[in-house]
Amino acid sequence: MSLARGERDVSKTTDLVIAGGGIAGLTVALAAAERGLSSVVIDEPRPGAASRAAAGMLAPSVEGLPPSVRPLALEAREYFPRFLAELQAKADFDVAVALNRNGILEVASTEEDLTRLRDRTRDDAVLLDQRGLAELEPALATHMGAVLHPKDGSVDNIALMSMLDLAASRQRLIRRISDSVASIELSGGRHVAWTGEGTRHEGRMIVLASGAWGSAIPGLPRNLPVRPLRGQLLLLDQLPLTHVAYVAGGYLVPRGTTLLVGATSEEAGFKNGVTGEGQMELLGIAQRAIPELASARVIEHWAGLRPVTPDALPILGRDPGVPGLIYACGFSRNGILLAPWAASQLAALVAGEDASDLAPFAASRFAPNAALK
Ligand SMILES: Cc1cc2nc3c(=O)[nH]c(=O)nc-3n(C[C@H](O)[C@H](O)[C@H](O)COP(=O)(O)OP(=O)(O)OC[C@H]3O[C@@H](n4cnc5c(N)ncnc54)[C@H](O)[C@@H]3O)c2cc1C
């Protein structure tokens, strides 16, 4: 290996070099550390990074996932309480991350909506008529009814990211670097990440966890079809609900003493600004669902970039041609739900332990040079 002037080789014997320090990168580093594996997490904070911007819903029953993936998504939801308890112990912090397991309501505004929901009710879902809904959530009393998915819910993803930061900083097997991964080299059995500042990090494996920017790092063996899909959210100063509610055009998520209203879905490239149009759309969703919210104050309005794939499923596991390259990206709309579970499976995989079958998420489902759709 020869280095150009000004370049530094800082590689020692790292197991994983992880590109990206959102929920995907940090959970992989922590799950790997549990198995005695060391990581260097290289993260350049970028406007639009999704993990702190998200609504934090854990909604495998509502998100319309394909049958091959649904059981895995339910497994991911059931993993959450244990994951949070273990994370809190690793962070050695006495305030827990808020987890709402009251269930998620899919609310019907019309008779047709209710019929449609009735036809789709399955597993442990409970159909509520207008009275049942009004008893559960008086603020939704004007709606025709709802389906309650009793085990879905939400997590405070901002608190979760802070807890992940703390736990990673306390873990001696994890080194964190604030820099960009400018390119990767995967030839000759070597796995190297070069940073924007010119440092070289070699690892036994490279993990790609760079969110919406997943396809943009030079040196990848395939053109990953991951693209940014902007979502705007509002935070209102009223809390009329105790359940997460999917309502016409969007969703409402209780958070502390406030209410999140989401979310737009916009093809805006990597532009992460908020817009007046976005705010109007979100206020409309909130007020059509609960007219009293017309008097609510907007506390905050922000946007984030979902890292989406053509089938809205993540890309997980080894690259078919380069086994030392591991994908933990393309989490699309469900990364808060799926990433902690995915990280535990990926860490098991790289440690040579039994892991769930990640075939539905294999990179090989896309042509090596699939066009970005
Ligand atoms: C508005 C909105 C609402 C959402 N709601 C939900 C929800 O309710 N439930 C749910 O489960 N999911 C939700 N999601 C999706 C979820 O947020 C994402 O799937 C998840 O956060 C993706 O995590 P990540 O770590 O892959 O990406 P990110 O959080 O974006 O992290 C990637 C990190 O990599 C860094 N990076 C990128 N390129 C490089 C590079 N070359 N070098 C170094 N660092 C780099 C970025 O700056 C960033 O810090 C929502 C997303 C949005 C935007």
For residue 225 and ligand 1, the question of a CB distance below 6 A is answered with no
User: How many angstroms separate the CA atoms of 215 and 191, rounded?
Assistant: 17
Separation of CA 280 and ligand 1 centre (Å): 25
Determine phi and psi for 134, rounding to 5 degrees: -65, -35
pLDDT of residue 198: 95
Can you name the residues that pair with 127 across neighbouring β-strands? 147
CA distances from 149 to 80, 125, 153, 207 (A): 16, 5, 9, 34
In the predicted structure, residue 175 carries a pLDDT above the cut 60: yes
Atom nearest to 195 CA in ligand 1: 42
Q: What percent of the chain has pLDDT over 70?
A: 95
Task: Tell me what the mean pLDDT of segment 94-116 comes to.
Answer: 93
For residue 306 and ligand 1, the question of a CB distance below 6 A is answered with yes
Task: Tell me what the mean pLDDT of segment 118-122 comes to.
Answer: 80
Burial of 314 (0-12, 13-18, 19+ CB in 10 A): buried
Separation of CA 20 and ligand 1 centre (Å): 9
pTM: 0.95
For residue 231 and ligand 1, the question of a CB distance below 6 A is answered with yes
With CA atoms as reference, report the closest residue to 256 among 67, 52, 98: 98
In the predicted structure, residue 249 carries a pLDDT above the cut 60: yes
Mutation probe of ligand 1 site: the residue of 210, 255, 266, 313 with most atoms within 8 A of C-beta: 210
For residue 24 and ligand 1, the question of a CB distance below 6 A is answered with yes
Separation of CA 65 and ligand 1 centre (Å): 19
For residue 29 and ligand 1, the question of a CB distance below 6 A is answered with no
In the predicted structure, residue 299 carries a pLDDT above the cut 90: yes
pLDDT tens digits for 193-224?
Answer: 999 999 999 999 999 999 999 888 999 998 89
pLDDT of residue 118: 84
For residue 52, what pLDDT band results from cuts at 50, 70 and 90? very high
pLDDT of residue 371: 44
Burial of 6 (0-12, 13-18, 19+ CB in 10 A): exposed
pLDDT tens digits for 347-370?
Answer: 999 999 988 889 999 999 987 654
With CA atoms as reference, report the closest residue to 147 among 105, 100, 103, 119: 105
For residue 54 and ligand 1, the question of a CB distance below 6 A is answered with yes
Q: Please name the residue whose Cα sits nearest to atom 12 of ligand 1.
A: 334
Q: Please name the residue whose Cα sits nearest to atom 18 of ligand 1.
A: 335
pLDDT of residue 12: 58
Atom nearest to 305 CA in ligand 1: 53
User: How many angstroms separate the CA atoms of 160 and 139, rounded?
Assistant: 29
pLDDT of residue 189: 74
Atom nearest to 334 CA in ligand 1: 11
pLDDT of residue 10: 52
Q: Please name the residue whose Cα sits nearest to atom 19 of ligand 1.
A: 335
pLDDT of residue 64: 83
